[in-house]
Amino acid sequence: MSRIFKPRTGNQYSISFGDYSAVVTELGATLRALRWKGKNLLATFDANETVPCCNGYVLVPYPNRVEDGTYTFNGATYHMPIDEPDRMTSLHGFGYRYFWTLENLTESSVTLSWRAPAIPSYPFDITVYAHYELSDAGLSQSVTVENNDDKPAPWAFGIHPWLANGVEGHTGDEIEEDNAACHLELHAAKHVTVSPDRLLPTGLEDAAGTKYDLASNPSFEGKGYDDAWTDVEHVGDGSTTATFTRPDGIQVLLSGDATVNSWQVCTGTGFGADFRPAGVAVEPMTAHANAFRTGENLETVEPGESYSTTITYVARQI
């Protein structure tokens, strides 16, 4: 008798409410799909295939790159696996590499947890909870870390959604053309400059009046990004929002709470056709690249304490 396997990305947790539906995978608590009125808001992928380009990852305990995979915290130095040999960097933490535990599943919500294993590169005993909930207000994604340890733990957080450009079935340069017709509005005063060979931060520059000025809702025509912005604008409720507009008139408002202080935007320009998602990655973060090395915006979660960030997705037709 043949053996029946579950998908390579684990169990698929489907939730829905009104016009919204979503699929979260057991692997990494990854947001594999988000739909509104039947339209894909994210560039999705096959549940049995390798995740193409970090699509929907929960980036814990840090987002983006760490130089040489090495960091020092509270006087001790740790060495992480190198994920980008050509750049000699570690990338996007550990959470996406593991199956998470289902804590609760309802028709409109799902909660998964991940306890960091006892590994030398991150020997801190933390548990991370990812809670997804759909409502008339869209999708809420809340991520909470709890420190079970008797020592402090370093922490930063981000997510990696590829917002769909609205065109299905295209690859490579066709995606570049489709992205060019999309617009992104983001209010952030500073652009993070990086080394061209390793994409590690070298400083900050004013975004106003440059190609990195996204406040006026520019299109992606002639622009390729794999860049971070900081000194973001927070409105009265403490939130910061990136607004992505597609040619079909669907607009996605991706917001982070007051803990979000940086955004990464990646158009996938120059990426291989076999793994380039059909859209633009728009990534809210509590710290940008190399935070484990620089300590910039790095959170220290004390024993018995917790730290939470909430992200929301809202779709509308304009």
pLDDT 10s digit of each residue in the chain, 318 long? 689 899 999 999 999 999 999 999 999 999 999 999 999 999 999 999 999 999 999 999 999 999 999 999 999 999 999 999 999 999 999 999 999 999 999 999 999 999 999 999 999 999 999 999 999 999 999 999 999 999 999 999 999 999 999 999 998 889 999 999 999 999 999 999 999 999 999 999 999 999 999 999 999 999 999 999 999 999 999 999 999 999 999 999 999 999 999 999 999 999 988 889 999 999 999 999 999 999 999 999 999 999 999 999 999 999
- Cβ neighbors of 182 (< 8 A, separation 6 or more) are 165, 166, 219, 220, 244, 245, 246, 247, 279, 280
- Topology of domain 12-317, per CATH? Beta-galactosidase; Chain A, domain 5 (2.70.98)
In whole angstroms, what is the distance from residue 19 CA to residue 140 CA?
A: 14
In whole angstroms, what is the distance from residue 266 CA to residue 165 CA?
A: 13
Q: State whether residue 175 is helix, strand or coil.
A: helix
What is the distance, to the nearest Å, from the Cα of residue 11 to the centroid of all Cα atoms in its chain? 21
First to last CA, the chain: 54
Lookup result for tokens 């940086």? 262
Residue 302: C-alpha distances to residues 69, 126, 153, 177, 292 (Å): 23, 10, 7, 47, 16
Q: DSSP E strands: which ranges in 7-60?
A: 12-17, 20-25, 31-36, 39-40, 57-59
Say if strands 138-147 and 240-245 run parallel, antiparallel, or are unpaired: unpaired
Question: Domain extents for the chain?
Answer: 12-317
